[in-house]
Structure 1
Amino acid sequence: MDIVKVFGNNVKKYRNLLGISQEEFAYKCGLHRTYISAIECHRRSISLENIQRIADALNIETYKLFIESKEEEL
């Protein structure tokens, strides 16, 4: 399992479920849009503090960002 990929894919999935842009989501997290883009494109490892910010902005439990979906395993 590539944790950076799983995390990035989950951030994008949950952000899209909220129907908000990267820019709007970044603002909600207190982070920069390019930082969110780098996470979603699997180019960035992030701190625990920022993981919590992201989970809070998505209004989900933090652990859900680390669950690998079945589609990713294929």
Structure 2
Amino acid sequence: MTSSRAQPGSGRPLRQVLAENIVSLRRERRWSQETLAFEAGLHRTFVAHVERQARNIALDNLERIAIALGVHAHELLKERDRAPPSERSEDFR
């Protein structure tokens, strides 16, 4: 279930911001969900659920994903510039 509560000033729920950032950073590295999950010590289906906004994420797992992606955990929660659809790459699942 996706939360309908939006982050102040953005109109987008924080869960959506997190999911988009994880997907974007994972794709920049040309990693599959399985690769990210392996690097973070998590199960691939958990990563898929977080990316689909189907699961809440504990701070410990947020930190594991951030470390695997080489960013600070708070960066996963900040809005990033989104590329136009023509510049987005396909999913590497």
| Alignment TM-score > 0.5, same fold | yes
Partners of 1:66 and 1:12 in 2: CA distance: 13
1: CA distance between counterparts of 2:75 and 2:64?
A: 14
Higher relative CO (Cα under 8 Å, sequence separation at least 6) belongs to: 1
- Give the drift of 1:69: 3.1
1:33 equivalent to 2:44? Answer yes
1:52-74 superposed Cα distances (whole Å, 9 cap, x missing partner):
00000000111110112354xxx
Listed as ranges, the matches of 1:4-19 within 5 Å are 4-19=15-30
C-alpha separation in 1, matches of 2:70 and 2:33 = 16
When the two chains are superposed, the root-mean-square deviation of aligned CA atoms in Å is: 1.1
- Which stretches in structure 2 are left out of the alignment for 5+ residues? 1-6, 8-12, 83-93
Question: TM-score, normalised on structure 1?
Answer: 0.89
Radius of gyration: which is bigger? Answer: 2
